[in-house]
Amino acid sequence: MARRRFYHEAGYAIDVGARPTRSPEWEGLLGIYDDDLDRNAANYQPLTPLSYLSRAAQVHPDRTAIVHGALRRSYRDFYARSRALASALTQRGIKRGETVAAMLSNTPAMLEAHHGVPMAGAVLLSINTRLDADIIAFQLDHAEAKVVLVDREFSAVMAEALKKATVSPLVVDYDDPDFPEDAPARKGDPIGEIEYEALVAEGDPEFAWQMPGDEWDAISLNYTSGTTGNPKGVVYHHRGAALMGYANIVAAGMSGHPVYLWTLPMFHCNGWCFPWTLAIQAGTHVCLRWVRAKAMYDAIADHGVTHLCGAPIVMATLINADEGDKRPFEQTVTFNTAAAPPPQSVLAGMSEAGFQVTHLYGLTETYGPAVVNAWKAEWDALDAPARAAQKARQGVRYPALEDLAVMDPDSMEKVPSDGETIGEVMFRGNIVMRGYLKNPDATEEAFRGGWFHSGDLGVMHEDGYIELKDRAKDIIISGGENISSIEVENALYQHPAVATAAVVAKSDDKWGETPLAFVELKPGREVSEEDLIAHCREKLARFKCPKEIRFAEVPKTSTGKIQKYVLRKMVDG
């Protein structure tokens, strides 16, 4: 594909790409409404979530925007600091369309980065804080990162990644003021040129930040875990991020000034766009560095949390909390869960604990949730197993999604709505990514036929609700994190004794799933389970390593393809 001329030479025209929904009969039809009624400065502004923060600061300057430990930050200050960050980045030479990376926990700095980085015209790359140095280095290089904001917890791995990377970004240390002495992780040494607070102090809190030139401009970049080969960089635009704000409000039933607890990592699909969403209603962010039961109940009871999100493991943590860590609360708390259908026992436990659970589904490519299990009042009358079965279905298209279908990917025909015929789940709409960065082949493949192909298999029920039947086969979801089985297999294959390796998911009460490896050894070679797991830990982030290894013959087809579906049947045997 050719490099696109983004702005017309005359300065004001853009190429808007294919517009497939237009009726061909309308082509060239001009009427009285096509005269003298053009866009102008008074009636057209690019859609961007940055407008939400500026409005919140204007209308509710004194409302608490951020709670983090003892810290309280008003919307006035949140906005001023985001502008100062944008100003400082600009002064240090960051320009439109350049990448600023952040490897940060759910802290005020991460919230400010979501606003301040795009206010400088730059693009925010959020790095999964559990990744290893190789993948981080790949992402920094691929995104051509000019700046890295890094929390002191991750100094060591980032230092290693920077050694491996080709780019030499400005490194900024973030020293979390709420990092307790008895924390479950240690703070590393500073590795940067400047500390985050000093960087913000360089900037002008009244900086005249710029709207994006076009609502199609990139706002953020999120790498997928990469089932085959290198991770793919998913590009979001201002338009989609802005629309997700409204869609989240409608889907999560948020009104008034919601209070949102950060149990979902903000590096996941930009925290499903909630860092931007909350500004629409001037809600309060309650930061949370580590997901622990006591801290969650304290936040709910002390700060009046109304909404939180996370994988089923977060619900399990809430339900299984020590009685001493639980706190009573009066308000209705909505828990939005994704990654795996909530089991009946978890739903019962959550209901008893006073939570209302909404089941969502989506992908990095759809800005997070793009499907919602829209609950119907009549289902309340069902018995518990039937209610759980209804809740387990992924559901219907999100408010801002234009269309959702289950299709045969070859014929691109929709499967019958019979709840049985399996097809590929496909999406189209304004909350589908722009594409994969510097990867036109993957982008073209993902958008083949005018739909985004999720790679997930599912059925369409008679009532229009979809239900997943198989995640993209080789993905293991552990504690809400995607683990590519291929990546784990690749690590195993690097051991000199391994002939064949095949990794599948094993269900796990705590983590949802964990990787289980079937391994064939080379003739005459030996290695113990322990040693092979230790080998993996040198190559992979700890959460990706197999919890169990079985030495067995790996079933293959006549052409040598591993039959994972046979292995899956052997898992619990």
Q: Judged by CB under 8 A, which of 136, 211, 318, 363 binds a second copy? A: 211
Which residues 215-274 are close enough to bind a second copy by CB under 8 A?
Answer: 216-218, 235, 246, 249-250, 253-256
Kindly state whether residue 379 participates in binding a second copy, applying the rule CB under 8 A: no
Q: From start to end of 206-350, where are the E strands?
A: 218-223, 233-237, 259-261, 284-286, 307-310, 333-337
Q: Which part of the chain contacts a second copy (CB under 8 A), choosing from 33-41, 301-309, 479-487, 526-534?
A: 33-41
**How long, in residues, is the chain?**
573
Cα 315 from Cα 308, distance rounded (Å): 10
Q: Which part of the chain contacts a second copy (CB under 8 A), choosing from 68-76, 166-174, 304-312, 446-454?
A: 446-454
Q: Which part of the chain contacts a second copy (CB under 8 A), choosing from 72-80, 90-98, 131-139, 304-312?
A: 90-98
Cross-strand pairs, 467: 459
Nearest to 340 by CA among 262, 463, 456: 456
Q: Judged by CB under 8 A, which of 6, 290, 379, 493 binds a second copy? A: 6
Kindly state whether residue 280 participates in binding a second copy, applying the rule CB under 8 A: yes
Q: How many CB atoms lie within 10 A of CB 136?
A: 27
Cross-strand pairs, 144: none
Cα 84 from Cα 197, distance rounded (Å): 10
Kindly state whether residue 4 participates in binding a second copy, applying the rule CB under 8 A: yes
> How, if at all, do strands 307-310 and 333-337 pair?
parallel
Q: Map residues 134-153 to x or -, x wherever contact with a second copy holds by CB under 8 A.
A: ---------xx---------
**What DSSP designation does 62 have?**
T
Kindly state whether residue 70 participates in binding a second copy, applying the rule CB under 8 A: no
Cross-strand pairs, 425: 406
Q: Which part of the chain contacts a second copy (CB under 8 A), choosing from 94-102, 305-313, 504-512, 548-556?
A: 94-102
Q: Judged by CB under 8 A, which of 321, 430, 490, 539 binds a second copy? A: 430
The least CB distance from residue 5 to a second copy, in Å, is 8
Query: Are the C-beta atoms of 281 and 318 separated by less than 8 Å?
Result: no
Cα 405 from Cα 427, distance rounded (Å): 7
Reported as type and span, the H/E element at residue 351 is helix 344-352
Q: Return the number of the residue (216 or 518) whose C-beta is nearest a second copy.
A: 216
Cα 492 from Cα 515, distance rounded (Å): 12
Site of tokens 């087809």: 557
Kindly state whether residue 204 participates in binding a second copy, applying the rule CB under 8 A: no
Residue 528, sorted as left (phi over 0), alpha (psi -120 to 50) or beta, turns out to be beta
Query: Are the C-beta atoms of 458 and 406 separated by less than 8 Å?
Result: yes
Q: Judged by CB under 8 A, which of 29, 184, 560, 572 binds a second copy? A: 29
Kindly state whether residue 330 participates in binding a second copy, applying the rule CB under 8 A: no
Cross-strand pairs, 521: 498
The least CB distance from residue 153 to a second copy, in Å, is 29
Q: Return the number of the residue (44 or 558) whose C-beta is nearest a second copy.
A: 44
Nearest to 509 by CA among 232, 237, 360, 313: 313
Kindly state whether residue 39 participates in binding a second copy, applying the rule CB under 8 A: yes
Q: Judged by CB under 8 A, which of 193, 402, 418, 538 binds a second copy? A: 402
Q: From start to end of 314-409, where are the E strands?
A: 333-337, 355-363, 368-372, 396-397, 401-408
Cα 202 from Cα 217, distance rounded (Å): 26
The least CB distance from residue 377 to a second copy, in Å, is 9
Q: Return the number of the residue (342 or 435) whose C-beta is nearest a second copy.
A: 435
The least CB distance from residue 219 to a second copy, in Å, is 10
Kindly state whether residue 547 participates in binding a second copy, applying the rule CB under 8 A: no
Instruction: Please give the size of the binding site for a second copy, defined by CB under 8 A.
Output: 98
Q: Judged by CB under 8 A, which of 49, 310, 341, 435 binds a second copy? A: 435
Residue type, 467: E
Which residues 473-532 are close enough to bind a second copy by CB under 8 A?
Answer: none
Nearest to 456 by CA among 471, 475, 474: 471
Q: Judged by CB under 8 A, which of 74, 224, 230, 281 binds a second copy? A: 281
The least CB distance from residue 234 to a second copy, in Å, is 10
The least CB distance from residue 249 to a second copy, in Å, is 7
Q: Judged by CB under 8 A, which of 433, 477, 488, 516 binds a second copy? A: 433
The least CB distance from residue 11 to a second copy, in Å, is 7
Query: Are the C-beta atoms of 207 and 100 separated by less than 8 Å?
Result: no
Query: Are the C-beta atoms of 126 and 161 separated by less than 8 Å?
Result: no
Which residues 289-328 are close enough to bind a second copy by CB under 8 A?
Answer: none
The least CB distance from residue 247 to a second copy, in Å, is 9
Q: Judged by CB under 8 A, which of 49, 60, 231, 479 binds a second copy? A: 60
